[in-house]
């Protein structure tokens, strides 16, 4: 079985400071040393999987195409650091517009990735900036690491690597 690090997007991978629903390329600013941190995780044998709520789609602020464009941009920027992002799982729904089974804090998107990539949850982590991310981690059986919003993932990466990666 493999091990993985699941990452929230807005506030963890990219800064969302002062922005309402990041969806434009000019607003997509990566958090500090993201490429180097993800490279260290990848070299330690982790799959890197992005799990993101994108409620702006349901609200009509932007479309799925904008989400995919930013995911592609991120994939390209990380490739410059030698980082391969394994997959992106996105919930385009919002609770103001109905219920769904994929929106965090529900664990469905993480569970899909666990099954698809044969990931051992006991050796995996979820890095997020909200308590709902930690709830997702608990529900999926992976260790949650809470980081300060927009501050980067260095502390979480250090903790993962110190635990033996």
pLDDT of amino acid 98 = 85
Catalytic residues: 8, 10
DSSP conformation class of 86: -
Give the CATH number, domain containing residue 20. 3.40.50.1000
Taking residue 82's Cβ as centre, other Cβ atoms within 10 Å add up to: 11
Q: How confident is the model at residue 164 (pLDDT cuts 50, 70, 90)?
A: confident
Rounded mean pLDDT of 137-151? Answer: 97
Q: Which residues pair with 144 in a beta bridge?
A: 126
Rounded mean pLDDT of 35-40? Answer: 98
Q: Is the dihedral of CA 49, 55, 56, 62 positive or negative?
A: positive
Longest Cα–Cα distance in the chain: 43
Report how many domains make up the chain. Answer: 1
Indicate the length of the chain as a whole number: 165
Q: What is the pTM of this model?
A: 0.96
CB 76 within 8 A of CB 108: no
> What distance lies between CA 40 and its chain's CA centroid?
16
**Cα–Cα dist 83/77, whole Å:** 9
Which stretches does DSSP call E strand in 41-109? 46-53, 87-91
- Indicate the average pLDDT of the chain: 96
**Where in the sequence is the domain holding 16, given as residue range(s)?**
3-122+130-162
**Cα–Cα dist 43/101, whole Å:** 33
* Residue 165 predicted with pLDDT over 90: no
């Amino acid at each position: 079985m493999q091990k993985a690090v699941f990452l929230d997007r807005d506030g963890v991978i990219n800064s969302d400071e002062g922005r309402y629903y990041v969806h434009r390329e000019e607003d997509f600013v990566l958090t500090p040393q993201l490429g180097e941190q993800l490279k260290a995780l990848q070299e330690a044998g982790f799959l890197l999987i992005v799990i993101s709520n994108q409620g702006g789609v349901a609200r009509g602020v932007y479309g799925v195409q904008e989400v995919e464009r930013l995911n592609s941009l991120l994939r390209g920027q990380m490739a410059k650091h030698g980082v391969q992002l394994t997959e992106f799982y996105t919930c385009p729904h919002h609770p103001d517009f109905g219920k769904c089974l994929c929106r965090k804090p529900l664990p469905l998107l993480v569970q899909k990735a666990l099954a698809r990539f044969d990931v051992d949850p006991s050796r995996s982590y979820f890095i997020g900036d909200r308590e709902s991310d930690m709830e997702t981690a608990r529900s999926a059986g992976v260790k949650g690491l809470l980081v300060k919003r927009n501050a980067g993932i260095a502390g979480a990466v250090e903790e993962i690597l110190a635990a033996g990666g």
